[in-house]
Structure 1
Amino acid sequence: MGFIIIYMVIVFAVVEIAAVLMRATGLNKDISRFQVVSLLTSTGFTTMESELISDHPIRRRIGMFLILFGLFSFAVIVSAIANILAPGFQSSYLAAAAGALIAILVLVRTPMATAFLSSKFNRSLERKFEVHELPIKDVLLLEESDYFVELPVGPDCSYIGQRMRDILPSDADLNLLFIKRGTINVRKKKYETALEAGDVLYLYGDKKEFDAFFAEEMEDQAPAIMTRGGGRT
């Protein structure tokens, strides 16, 4: 029983340390803990939020460790049960490992350590990774007002049959990246293409511009819209 308690402490410490590291990369607190547990147990990692892990180079590395640790943990538990049944089993080394992890957890939770990790991870992204390797948030969403939206064109949308060049003024701080139409991504003539029901518009720009030109559409299609804003993940 003592072994089980000690090992649970180790698992708890690993989860909390990994969650702190995830948060240091800019990930939301609740999302980070859920994804850490998902990775560790190899369950529930098919959520839309998993893209926040797989699209980020540093989070991917943390995720790889958690997956491997989860597999190792299963093997250790099976082996430990066998050892517990054997005479002379000692858990002193395991208790020492648990104590070390708790000490690390206390350390990384301090404000100074959190600030250091955030700064370190940001510098790592700036120095070691190409733009195409970084997630949308770190490439496009640099200001609080920056916004990225996947906007479906509903059957009752007032813009059906219109072209984006007629919808958006040339001086609008809003950019159409491409139009997804079924399995086709319209890029070359994206501003000249008449919109159809079922299209999905991939837009990037200022939050106020979205509210000015697409407020009604965003309200009508709210459940189907994916948005990412600067300063939030």
Structure 2
Amino acid sequence: MNLFFLLIYFIIITAVIEIYVVLFRLTGLKLEISRFQVISLMTGTGFTTGESELILGHPIRRKLATFLILFGAFSLAVIISSISNFLSDDLRMNHILFVAGGVLLVFGVLKLACIQKLLSKLFHKKMKQNIELGDLPIRDVFLTEKGDYLLNLHIYKDSSLAFKTINQVIKEHGRLEFVVIFIKRGELKIRRNIYNEEIHEGDQLFLFGEKEVITEYFKDDMNIMEENLKNQHHTSLTRQFS
């Protein structure tokens, strides 16, 4: 009997996981990321990964995550209690079966294409009505299409852009699918006359546009940045263990 109860409760937990995987996916999160983050939230393990920013930076996902955290804590308490009490007499099996049936019914309804389409519209409508643009994660603001690309390009002394302007290096930039959002120079952010601003060693260029265009025209500078960052990381590890 005890094993049967645990089996039913495991089915409930699995159904809740799948329900929230669907809900997270309807907010625009990828399926594989949704499932991992749902399980992480329920169990309290692994949620500190970089992908958790996709949950924390999204207002609707944060609300969904709140329930999962509470449900995970409650589920652990129920499982521990059921094992320690060895299924006491006051725990009625018909109640747990009723709950399991309800959860599975909700999951079945959410799998319907028409319901998913309705919820997706509802989520996006709520985002447009109640959420300020500044509250949204970068992915939801800039990276809305497959070819969109956002690059933080670090400039070094051997970069092709060092001590030059964008206009000097890429004369036809006005016809290309990319823009320079701003140049970061220490604590200063340069937003005016960007394309005629001489770029210094140590500057950071924030570029947005078509990925193929950015990777084609800034390929050498990107390779130099990756090589320098790799060397800096290696030097840091060497100092740490020396």
TM-score relative to the length of structure 1: 0.80
Partners in 1 of 2:41 and 2:62 — Cα distance? 10
Q: Determine helix, strand or coil for the equivalent of 1:187.
A: strand
Matches within 5 A, 1:75-90: 75-87=77-89, 89-90=91-92
- State the structure with more CA Rg: 2
Tell me the residue number matched to 1:57. 59
Tell me the residue number matched to 2:205. 201
**Distance apart, 1:143 and its partner CA:** 4.3
Q: Which amino acid aligns with 1:175?
A: V
Query: Any stretches of 5+ residues in structure 1 without a counterpart?
Result: 225-233
Task: Summarize deviations over 1:27-61 as a string: whole Å, max 9, x none.
Answer: 11111111111111111112221111111111111
Task: Summarize deviations over 1:111-140 as a string: whole Å, max 9, x none.
Answer: 112211211111111111111112223323
Which shifted more, 21-30 or 136-145?
A: 136-145
Query: Any stretches of 5+ residues in structure 2 without a counterpart?
Result: 230-242
Q: Does the CA-based 8 Å contact 1:178-1:186 persist in structure 2?
A: no
Q: Does the CA-based 8 Å contact 1:177-1:187 persist in structure 2?
A: no
Matches within 5 A, 1:157-176: 157-164=159-166, 166-169=168-171, 171=174, 172-176=176-180
Count of residue correspondences: 221
Select the structure with the greater relative contact order (CA < 8 A; seq sep ≥ 6). 1
Matches within 5 A, 1:71-220: 71-87=73-89, 89-153=91-155, 157-164=159-166, 166-169=168-171, 171=174, 172-179=176-183, 184-188=186-190, 191=194, 192=197, 194-196=199-201, 200-218=204-222
Partners in 2 of 1:150 and 1:157 — Cα distance? 14
Q: Is the helix fraction higher in 1 or 2?
A: 2
Which shifted more, 105-114 or 202-211?
A: 202-211
CA distance 1:204–1:105, shift in 2 (3 Å)? same
Q: Which amino acid aligns with 1:69?
A: F
Superposition RMSD in Å = 2.8
CA distance 1:59–1:222, shift in 2 (3 Å)? farther
Query: After TM superposition, which residue ranges in structure 1, 4 or more long, deviate above 6 angstroms?
Result: none
Partners in 2 of 1:91 and 1:124 — Cα distance? 39
TM-score relative to the length of structure 2: 0.78
Partners in 2 of 1:185 and 1:174 — Cα distance? 24
Tell me the residue number matched to 1:34. 36
CA distance 1:189–1:115, shift in 2 (3 Å)? closer
CA distance 1:28–1:221, shift in 2 (3 Å)? farther
Q: Does the CA-based 8 Å contact 2:19-2:107 persist in structure 1?
A: yes
